[in-house]
Amino acid sequence: MVTPKKKTIIASKLKVKKEVVARPSAKKKRIEEAELPTEKSYDLVVVESPSKAKTIKKYLGRGYQVVASNGHIKDLPKSKLGVDIKAGFTIDLVPIVGKQDKIKRIQELAKGAHKIFLAPDMDREGEAIAFHLAQEIGRKKDLYRVIFNAVTKSAVKAAIENPTKLNECMYESQQTRRILDRLVGYKISPLLWDKVQRGISAGRVQSVALRVIVEREDAIKAFISEKWFSIMGEMQKDGTSFLFSYYGESADKKTDLEDEKVVKKIVSEVRGKNYKIIEVKKRERKQNPTPPFTTSKLQQEAAHKLGFTAKKTMMMAQKLYEGIDLSAFGTQGLITYMRTDSVRTEPESLNNVRDFIKKKYGKAFLPDQAIFYKKKGTSKVQDAHEAIRPTNLEYTPELIRGDLGPDEFKLYEIIWNKFISSQMSQAIIDQTTVSFENNGHYFRANGSIIKFSGFRTVYLEAAEERSRRKKSESEDEQTEQEEQDENSKRILPILNQGESLRATKDAKEEEHWTSPPPRYSEALLVKDLEEKGIGRPSTYASIISNIQDRGYVEKTENRFVPTELGTVVCRLLMHSFPDVMNIDFTAQVEEQLDKIEDGVVDYKKVLKEFWKGFEVTLLKAQEEMKNLKKQSTPTGLKCEKCKTGEYSIRWGKNGQFLACSNYPDCNSTHDFKKDLQGVIAIIPKQFVDDPCPKCGKRMEVKRGKYGRFVRCEDHPGCETTGPFTINVHCPDCKKGKFAEKKSRFGKFFYGCSSYPDCTNALWSKPRPFSCISCGYALMVEKISKKNGKQLQCPKCRHTVDFVDTPFANEVEKEESTKAF
């Protein structure tokens, strides 16, 4: 029984609880009101990202409001071209969907600000964001542009104390690039929809990058391998073994070995005989350090040594640049701006790194003067920035390792090592070449010893182990560093002219075949794009992502291979738009953008010249480009259904498929795959166990834009479709099963088929294996390089090795069930 006294106590407790709950919201309201004071008691700083805003706010403290724009706030509309060509290429910029509230927030803060500092990134895109912010704020007085190369307290405060003006030429350069991209994309893409497949696209730079990959594939297919030979043996002196190889029929000229009979004759004539030393050459070679990283070099090194994609590298670098919360130092930006073509280092940092080298490694490792690097080529884009380097040498990798994630640490470490090594002494290497003569045939042995390691002490300490882990597949791809590492292992004993030695292992022939050029890895593609002047290093990550997302290329064994769709689209564009697809033309456009930024060329003149030729080409292509939708390519494969027809390759809304030539009398279709030699193989149809709920026929597994689904085999007679599910029941609702789905960002996940009644969803494939820790009725697959394949509980995160589960010995296959 509840007495009146107890009721009073309970009521008072409830009142206290209500007051406790109410306090945070009231406090939050007071904070929000404080953020928008009526008086101009603060200065406003607008940056691009929230993490950078958080870091800068800590540096500036009270008296400043720091807000993030979250990237671009305005862009061309998606629903139309947005460029009025007749009105001098004027553009219709509109707020990006979802950014209206952000713009309003910035405008409100700007009204109460004494001064406004626009501080987006220091590249063209950052300048465009600054211009768009200025337009939306609508105020000219006390509005400034600030730029800083590193998110450090000193750099940020110095920028605030020395503000600049908006750079109109840089903005016009960005605007020109955006208009060119829009004209190409919005004029060519609809043409591809009509002629090839709906939903695909073309891009001014991405299409040229696709051409590079397609042409490499053409070169591989056209390559004819040729046989060649080498002759090698082994000698020993004073307990040291070393290799020697055939050089030629003269001591001064190398001879190529292509005739097997000649090779066998040489081997026969030198077998069992002494090799006389006719010359010993020794020379000291000095190896210079290399500059600190530019954007593209960082992407290449991270791909070679860390296995990072260009996209991942830029994401990690962005975090390091914007600020990391260090336990001993607070939030600090660890590296300078990561989008740069420059190899320059500011004088103060040069002095600091020289002091660091002298203190840690000694005077011998420090050159007499600082090393000044010059950028190759003529491009000026982003050359005003410094190279990528650590912002403070106090934050050594070893000291802050615990504050960084594993990938962040790896990237920071190679940036650190590269920068330190760039200002260290030369490495000195003693190289020895010994020439031998045997029965009129000449051989050589090479060896080298690192006499003084110099800069290699730092750079190879961090990189050598990783470079050994992943060997290149082609001599063309072998890096200079790897080649030097191999040379350092070849140490010769003391050999003197006139000595005679007998081989411990007789010289013997080895057969080789010339190799085709390698398919592009991500590092090789970035290197080639940079050398050809296609795009900019800051855009390589998005270029590579785009051509993959569009289905134009696929990664096979970490190499890019063009798909059938990518090859077809590339060939059509090369035929109909030769200028747009011209590599030199694309590089020339980048040079024009540089000149616009320098104020040398008027941006409207560049646009007019481009449109003049492009408009003519576009009209011609609309009439003459092949319509693949109306074409069919015979394959010679007999129809499996009617037995009289022949399958032809046709194009549909989801790409290519095989269709019977007797259509509409026979509606047999098949998916197919084509190997690298062009041989077509029919992919067997996969059916689910449950019949169509409408007509009773089998339900076939199909693949569409959003992944796999099931469809009645009588389609189009019966249009029943459903989700593709796996035979794992949802433990939450105990009704549905998990259906394979694809997010709008292209990532696969597994959601309950009872959605929206049940919202259970998993990013990894579920398995009907109960967690032994918490008892949850399923676990999900997890694969990592460190731990291999495991199962993990989505609730308590308990993991078990996959080999310890009942699935280890099963043949993994997708078991589909009905979803109706």
Residues labelled catalytic: 337
- The CA distance from 223 to 705, in Å, is 35
The residue among 717, 716, 712, 719 whose CA lies nearest residue 697 is 712
Give dist(CA 384, CA 600) in Å, integer: 17
Do the beta carbons of residue 306 and residue 411 sit within 8 Å?
Answer: yes
**Torsion sign, CA atoms 77, 79, 84, 85:** positive
Rounded distance between C-alpha atoms, residue 170 and residue 156, angstroms: 22
Between the alpha carbon of residue 730 and those of residues 226, 350, 780, 793, the distances in Å are 58, 61, 12, 14
* Order of all β-strands in the sheet with 725-729: 761-762, 748-752, 737-742, 725-729, 816-817
Cα pseudo-dihedral 307, 310, 313, 317, rounded to 10:
160
Concatenated DSSP letters of 20-55: HHHHHHHHHHHHHHHHS-SS--EEEEEES-HHHHHH
Non-local (6+) Cβ contacts of 370 within 8 A are 350, 351, 354, 423
Rounded-to-integer distance, Cα 557 and Cα 388, Å: 30
State the residue for tokens 């700083």: 45
How far are the Cα atoms of 19, 36, 54 from residue 61, in angstroms, in the given order? 32, 16, 11
Tokens read off for 716: 């189009």
Q: CA neighbours within 13 Å on the CB side: how many for 135? A: 15
Residues 470 and 558: their CA atoms lie apart, in Å, by: 12
Q: Quote the tokens at residue 740.
A: 């394979």
Per the CB < 8 A criterion, the answer to whether 159 and 147 are in contact is: yes
Q: Which residues of 61-100 are buried (b: 16+ CB within 10 A; e: fewer)?
A: eeebbbbbbbbbbbbbeeeebbbeeeeebebebebbeebe
517: which DSSP letter? Answer: P
Determine the length of the chain. 820
Among 465, 557, 592, CA closest to 204: 592
Retrieve residue 718's tokens: 């019966």
- Residues 381, 383, 385, 386, CA torsion sign: positive
